[in-house]
Chains A and B, each alone.
Chain A
Amino acid sequence: GENVEQHPSTLSVQEGDSAVIKCTYSDSASNYFPWYKQELGKRPQLIIDIRSNVGEKKDQRIAVTLNKTAKHFSLHITETQPEDSAVYFCAAQSPYNFNKFYFGSGTKLNVKP
């Protein structure tokens, strides 16, 4: 199956700085990549996703970029705020079975006020 690797495992930034989380995937046929945010003790929730027919997608302070050639995608958060503190998971949907998602191991983001 697909292998998704996520870095870094922890990230600490000052409020107002930018944060970048990177993921790589192994199957070049994969074409849907969602990002989930999980606040402490809460359920994961989708924050942004990207399909392989575009290279970048933005939603206010959050953006995701995709490099199909290199098989990696990244989450960018600008002007970070304390409420951005959470664990972020990247994922890749299997191109052979749409019910299978392969998740990265997570990045714990700490935004210091």
Chain B
Amino acid sequence: NAGVTQTPKFQVLKTGQSMTLQCAQDMNHNSMYWYRQDPGMGLRLIYYSASEGTTDKGEVPNGYNVSRLNKREFSLRLESAAPSQTSVYFCASSETGELFFGEGSRLTVL
């Protein structure tokens, strides 16, 4: 089992460019999440999906969109990247409370 895999691992964007972070899990979990991690601020929830076909906003959704493509896949899109979106992004999945995280994607917006 690969667990949670996310791509890309690193990405550099210019302000105004768009990109999509991909995430897939093979644990048959219903819930999936996107978090961002910034120094001194812990992990903050951007969006989550409680089940296939549903998505909801977290603490910091502005500037992001998500798609729950099927039970396995949950993508995060930045339509017009801003320097404030420079961060490490983690995808996670869960079924009974424990969060299983991907390896993270380091995004830099210049």
Contact = CB atoms under 8 A, between A and B. Distances in A.
| Secondary structure class of chain B's binding surface, majority of residues | loop
Contacts of B31: 99
A37 to B, nearest CB: 11
Contacts of B42: 4, 6, 89, 103-106
Interface of B: 31, 33, 40-45, 48, 50, 56, 58-59, 90, 94, 97-99, 101-104
Interface of A: 1, 4, 6, 9, 32, 34, 36, 42-46, 49, 89, 91, 93, 98-101, 103-106
Contact of A43 (B44, B97, B104): B104
A89 B45 contact: no
Nearest to B3: A43
Contact of A49 (B56, B90, B97): B97
Nearest to B90: A43
Nearest to B102: A43
Contacts of A100: 45, 48, 58
B40 A46 contact: no
A99 to B, nearest CB: 5
A106 B88 CA distance: 15
